[in-house]
Structure 1
Amino acid sequence: MKFLAFCLLLLTMQARGATNAELEAQVESLTQRVQKLERLLSEVMEARGAEAREVVATTSHQAASAKPVATKPAAAGSSLKMGGRVKLDVIANSVSVGGTGGQNRGDVALFPNAIPLTASGEDHQLSGNARDSRLWVNATNSTDYGDLGAYIELDFGSYDNSGNERVSNSHNPRIRHAYATYGGFTVGQTTSTFQNMIAFPEINEANGPA
């Protein structure tokens, strides 16, 4: 539009010395030039718009097809935990099932072959202990190939008693679990998954009924 106004101003300045025919020819020429410039400008704008749309489409396609980069999780570090429990058992049992007092094996586990079948089974005793109390330590450490762990657990259920009820009532500690885990493998001493469940009574006590 500015260009057109400038052209009209030139025509006005030249109008004094030009005939009507010359003026009409100049106006027609200027009009054609303006139209040509407008078409050229429209083509340039359309070409730039097409390029912009193509760039946006390419960027969107790359973003959609890009795969996430796998990152290694940060190591959780090492941990050391300790725990345990205190358990008190009170048992009424036959004296002849393993022995008297703290020497009675029937106070710790079930021994079906030691159940008295004669009149001796009519004698009973009442005893108590905390032999099933437990203490455990669990250590873990994260590595590039998985967690490395170690576990140890003790109780006082050993049959070999170092004391008696008259002196200290003590019992020797024993190892229940002592194993290491790494990469899905377990090596050491722990509870076996092989057990004849048909021959073992269904009870809550870990070692069977006392």
Structure 2
Amino acid sequence: MSNKHVVWHDHRITKEERAKLKYQKPCILWFTGLSGSGKSTIANAVEAKLHEMGKHTYLLDGDNIRHGLNKDLGFSDTDRVENIRRIGEVAKLFVDSGLIVLTAFISPFQSDRDSVRNLVEEGEFIEIFIDTPLKVCEQRDPKGLYKKARAGEIPHFTGISSPYEPPVKPEIYIKNDKIPLEICVERIIDYLQTNDYLNHG
């Protein structure tokens, strides 16, 4: 609900000026995929590489956010939508600060991912689909969640009792089944370099 007494306050320092100081083009690297697909692992490795290159970043991870900002939310479809809405608003602030923000969230609904894309300017939202077969995710099951979901202990579990809508036209598509982590990172860094996100000033 909007408040008519709340007025947007413009900053003296612009997003462009902040980005120029960091010599990079701010953007959201939005990693999406099933639980166990490798989103967080790849996002962490990409951030480490960007840090090594002297870039200014911040990583938002699904589990970590639910410990704080979104700890009041469950996993119903309604709560999932609100979870992504809040993350989108936070990511937008990071972009405004001139950072490259990486987000690792299942974010199962295309409409929610599109809503975040629409929060920022064209070219500032890079959807990265980590496409890992459900069978592989279940075999990995690093947190034992699939086993619990199959046993009916976790309702609304994406891929089992709740749907996942694959990205229609992701900027970066990674079939993460039998390829090394280094190759995944290389593909994402190559995209950023080719599209002038890392040499911008």
For the aligned pair, the TM-score class normalised by the smaller chain equals under 0.3
Higher relative contact order (CA 8 A, sep 6+): 2
Q: TM-score with structure 2 length normalisation?
A: 0.22
Larger radius of gyration: 1
Structure number with higher strand proportion: 1
